[in-house]
């Protein structure tokens, strides 16, 4: 059984999608359509822009979403998922690939999500830090014991978590993590405290848009970040997608559950190879590959 995985923010790179645009008519159509939906020439930024240009919030999230959708569309009949999952932002790509939302709806939601998150960051500064070499439970305990807002935000793979919260609380937590034996505690170059309670205003804003978006029955289960379980009910999918903004990405748990479900092969659909690396660390024996054309 095949599970398709869709990456999130941080996997973007200059020139992404240009080869697909030049090679496949369906890719060209999707990119051209994206320019119209967004109201600006995102294709030009992707193909000709710098690394810095791609880090703008209004560009980054739609860019990764568009790229992932283009890849699964280019796969054509080869794309036969038994289950899908997406890391944070990648969940929107997964929902599109599973037939739950249309490309247009997905891109509008992703664009709205990016803007709402940026607004929340501007309103309340926050930070995130990668914690390497500590058990999940230890990281959670230290977060709970640290004054201020700090939570475990991304369970990426065993021994690699990301924490999120107010800048002061993150600094204190990093000190405690190192004292507890973490190999590294590195503050990340991100603009805010994603997947933490500091994103509540973004969650409220996105909830209204998700509520008014048509969600259909999926062609296969979606293992959603918030619950790390297979979900097929459109209303439940909506609820989990809203909660995702302030909740942790349970990636380790999702991959393990997908394997329990019967997935024996994972295919990474999108820019970069980050998810392939994480899956290998979660389950070294499972088959993992990326898109190759």
* Residues recognised as catalytic: 88, 195
Of 93, 86, 95, 89, the C-alpha closest to 114 is 89
Of 282, 248, 293, the C-alpha closest to 3 is 282
Of 225, 31, 6, the C-alpha closest to 96 is 6
* Cβ contacts of 285-288, under 8 Å, gap ≥ 24: 286/259
Residue owning tokens 């997905």: 106
What is the CB neighbour count within 10 angstroms for residue 94?
Answer: 28
Of 57, 64, 69, the C-alpha closest to 103 is 69
């Amino acid at each position: 059984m095949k599970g398709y995985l869709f990456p999130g923010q941080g996997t973007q790179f200059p020139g992404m999608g240009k080869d697909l645009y030049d090679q496949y008519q369906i890719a060209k159509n999707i990119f051209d359509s994206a320019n119209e939906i967004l109201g600006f020439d995102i294709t030009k930024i992707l193909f000709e822009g710098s690394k810095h240009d791609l880090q703008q919030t209004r560009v980054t999230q739609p860019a990764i979403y568009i790229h992932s959708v283009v890849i699964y569309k280019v796969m054509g009949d080869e794309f036969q998922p038994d289950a899908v999952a997406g890391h944070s932002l990648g969940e929107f790509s997964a929902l599109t690939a599973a037939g739950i939302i249309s490309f247009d709806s997905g891109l509008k939601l992703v664009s709205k999500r990016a803007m709402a998150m940026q607004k929340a960051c501007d309103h309340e500064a926050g930070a995130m830090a990668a914690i390497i070499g500590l058990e999940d439970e230890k990281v959670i305990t230290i977060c709970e014991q640290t004054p201020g807002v700090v939570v475990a935000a991304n369970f990426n793979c065993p021994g690699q978590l990301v924490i999120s919260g107010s800048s002061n609380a993150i600094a204190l937590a990093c000190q405690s993590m190192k004292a507890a034996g973490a190999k590294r505690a590195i503050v990340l170059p991100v603009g805010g405290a994603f997947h933490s309670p500091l994103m509540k205003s973004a969650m409220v804003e996105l909830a209204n848009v998700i509520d008014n978006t048509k969600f259909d029955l999926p062609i296969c289960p979606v293992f959603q970040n918030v619950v790390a379980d297979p979900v097929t009910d459109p209303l439940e999918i909506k609820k989990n997608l809203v909660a995702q903004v302030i909740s942790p990405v349970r990636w380790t748990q999702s991959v393990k559950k997908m394997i329990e479900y019967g997935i024996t092969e994972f295919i990474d659909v999108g820019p970069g190879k980050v998810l392939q690396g994480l899956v290998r660390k979660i389950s070294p024996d499972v088959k993992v590959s990326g898109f190759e054309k």
